[in-house]
Structure 1
Amino acid sequence: MTLTELRYIVAVARERHFGRAAEACFVSQPTLSVAIKKLEDELDVKIFERGSNEISTTPLGEEIVRQAQSVIEQAQAIKEIAKRGQDPLAGALRLGIIYTIGPYLLPDLVRHAIDMFPQMPLMLQENFTVKLLDMLRTGELDAAIMAEPFPDTGLAIAPLYDEPFVVACPAIHPLAKRESVSSEELKKETMLLLGTGHCFRDHVLEVCPEFARFSSDAEGIRKSFEGSSLETIKHMVASGMGVTVVPQLSVPKEPQPHLRYVPFSAPLPTRRVVLAWRRTFTRYEAIAALRNAIYACELSGVTRLTP
């Protein structure tokens, strides 16, 4: 039994597919399949049920995978303890970040990280919240920047900032001339939303719950559209297809000719952005350094939550 084999079964359990698991482990599928079969033979148990379309984990296999995750994490902890004895910031930090924060925070954050701790490069992973939580749990990420709320997974959490939402509308839209807009007024508008899986979509639906129905005959709703990213949706808004709600940090510093950003009237809808990491992660100084780099960013228009 090797750590490599344990990593393979954790990957298969997560992906439920040998091909995707092999790709995630940077090996060929035959290599991964042979290694897992060897481990099953050694343990004399069946870890996975091979179906025609999807791989499932057997009840006993689920226990083995959980233990494998723990072993992998402990093995990584040994390496990290050794590094801390030399330099707590030595070595890469694997950082996850959700799609609706990454493009607006990372450029500034990476610059500060390079200046403040060049010996600790950031290995970045953009993804959905649910995927980042899974990667944290399995030890594939060291920390992640996400927006609350998300399921309680026993992670350590440090609040970073509260970010207000703003309304984005076409420059020729009547709302563009307003000093503020209420969520009630958006009921009559064509709303453009992120697709399913984005937590920011859920945040917008909390502000405008009427759009959760997606019913063509729902009162006050004409039609709704979905986009794959905030920037795609902004282009759709600029072309006159409707309005949307965006986080403050996504508002560009320079005016855009076809778009206007209008604040909400009080009470302002906001989201809380946090840094999360496993409680067993031993590089405490690395987490502190990362937080300091985040606080060094400009973060215009948000409310910083200092420790």
Structure 2
Amino acid sequence: MTLTELRYIVAVARERHFGRAAEACFVSQPTLSVAIKKLEEELDVKIFERGSSEVSMTPLGEAIVRQAQSVIEQAQGIREIAKRGKDPLAGPLRLGIIYTIGPYLLPELVKNAIEQTPQMPLMLQENFTVKLLDMLRTGEIDCAIMAEPFPDTGLALAPLYDEPFMVAMPASHPLAGRSHISSQELKQETMLLLGTGHCFRDHVLEVCPEFARFSSDTEGIKKSFEGSSLETIKHMVASGMGITVVPGLSVPATPQPHLVHVPFEAPVPMRRVVLAWRRSFTRYEAIAALRNAIYACALPGVVRLSA
């Protein structure tokens, strides 16, 4: 059994046709057919059912093809390890990031990464904290940018910055002219929140715990509304449907005509943003390069941190 034979059966499974699979593998159809026949004889199983118009896999063949794909990926991993030994920055870095950070950090971060480490493209995955932690555990991503706190999973952590919260409200709101505002003053307001699953929702409820009691079946106008993204909620706020709390990086540099952002009074609530990775991840230079690319971003209004 060889890797070449495994690549052939994966190609046939993908193309459902011996001729197209041979073209994809840059070999003649007889060469591919003979190799697959040899493998079937070696394993003493039938991997494919040959039809007049299309090739299908036998039930046992499906399991064999799945394992073949895994073996091919592992073999490719060996090449990647060897490549990284020559240049630790060579090869993509799989980065996860939570929804309430991605839109405001990624555009400049990706630009910086391309300029500083073009040999290390970022493969991005935007998701909830819980999902990113699971993806880190299973090796689907290499590292993630998240906000503390989250469950202790034995990850290595590097603090990036502390990000203050601000109150977003319609420009016509009575409190819009204030230089600062306290969380107590928000008790009588209609609060718009992110939906369940967003860690920033939990952060806001820590600042304004009285809104935790509101649910979708609450009577009257003083209830919490849930949105799928911060930008959706901001548009709702601008239209006069309520107020919300936002992270500092989401505040645009240019004032908006229908939306005002007011800082909190001291002590200002904030969240700590960190970079997390598996302790078994050996590309330390890649992590350092990513941190440098993050610190090269403007990061207006945040407090930069170092390890």
TM-score (norm: length of structure 2): 0.75
Distance (Å, rounded) in 2 between the aligned partners of 1:129 and 1:238: 28
Shift in CA distance, 35/222, structure 1 to aligned 2, threshold 3 Å: farther
Listed one character per residue, the Cα deviations across residues 134-174 of structure 1 (whole Å, up to 9, x for unaligned) are 11111110110000011111111000000000000000001
| Corresponding residue number in structure 1 for 2:150 | 150
1:210 and 1:34 map into 2 onto residues whose CA distance is: 58
Q: Name structure 1 gaps, 5 residues minimum.
A: 5-29, 43-68
Change (3 A) 1:238 1:35: farther
1:220, distance to aligned residue in structure 2 (A): 11
Partner of 1:97: 97
Residue 253 of structure 1: how far off its partner (Å): 0.5
The aligned residue for residue 290 of structure 1 is 290
Q: Which has the larger radius of gyration?
A: 2
Any runs of at least 4 consecutive aligned residues in structure 1 with deviations exceeding 3 A, and if so which? 33-40, 71-81, 215-221
Q: Are the aligned partners of 1:144 and 1:276 in contact in 2 as well (CA < 8 Å)?
A: yes
- Compute the displacement of 1:306 (Å): 1.8
Residue deviations 1:239-292, cap 9 Å, x none? 000000000000000010000000000110000000000111111100000000
Find the counterpart in structure 1 of residue 185 from structure 2: 185
SS state at 1:266 partner = coil
Q: Secondary structure at the match of 2:175?
A: helix
- CA 1:148–1:171: 2 relative to 1, 3 Å: same
Contact 2:205 2:211 in 1 (8 A): yes
Deviation at 1:216, TM superposition (A): 8.2
Distance 1:34 1:163, change over 3 A: farther
Q: Cα distance, 1:218 vs. partner?
A: 8.3
1:265 counterpart letter in structure 2 = E
User: Which deviations, in whole Å up to 9, do the C-alpha atoms of 1:203-259 show, x marking residues without a partner?
Assistant: 000000111111589899812100000000000000000000000000000010000
Counterparts of 1:268 and 1:282, CA distance in 2: 37
Unaligned runs of 5+ in 2: 1-5, 7-55
Task: Work out the CA distance in 2 between the residues paired with 1:123 and 1:82.
Answer: 20
Kept after mapping to 2: 8 A contact 1:187/1:208: yes
Return closer, same or farther for 1:37/1:118 CA change in 2, 3 Å cut-off. closer
- 1:107-146 to 2 correspondence within 5 Å? 107-146=107-146
Following TM superposition, by how much is the alpha carbon of 1:81 offset from its aligned partner in structure 2, in angstroms? 3.3
- 1:169–1:306 CA distance, 2 compared to 1 (3 A): same
* Equivalent pair of 2:168/2:246 in contact (CA under 8 Å): yes
Give the residue type in structure 2 aligned to 1:196.
T
Identity over aligned residues, as a percent? 79
Aligned to 1:62: none
Q: Distance in 2 between matches of 1:262 and 1:150?
A: 28
Task: Tell me, in whole angstroms, the C-alpha distance in 1 between the residues paired with 2:267 and 2:136.
Answer: 34
User: What is the distance in 2 between the residues matched to 1:35 and 1:283?
Assistant: 37
Aligned to 1:281: 281
Check conservation: 2:104, 2:250, Cα contact below 8 A. yes
Question: In the alignment, what sits opposite 1:64?
Answer: none
Aligned to 1:81: 81
Alpha-carbon distance between aligned partners in 1 of 2:72 and 2:179, rounded to the nearest angstrom: 54
Give the AA of the match of 1:229: S
Q: 1:79 to 1:137 in 2, by over 3 A?
A: farther
Residue matched to 1:174 = 174
Shift in Å, 1:84: 2.3
Answer yes or no: is the 8 Å Cα contact 1:204–1:245 preserved in 2: yes
Label 1:93 to 1:251 Cα distance change in 2 as closer, same or farther (>3 A): same
Deviation at 1:175, TM superposition (A): 1.2
Contact 1:72/1:139 (8 A) holds in 2: no
Q: Which residue of 2 aligns with 1:212?
A: 212
* SS of residue paired to 1:201: helix
Letter in 1 for 2:290: L
Distance change (3 Å), C-alpha of 1:238 and 1:206? same
**Whole-Å Cα distance in 2 between the matches of residues 252 and 105 of structure 1?**
12
TM-score norm. by structure 1 comes to: 0.75
SS in 2 for 1:279: coil
Shift of 1:86: 1.7
Q: Given that residues 187 and 220 in structure 1 are in contact (C-alpha distance below 8 angstroms), is that contact kept between their aligned partners in structure 2?
A: no
Distance in 2, matches of 1:86 and 1:209, equals 52
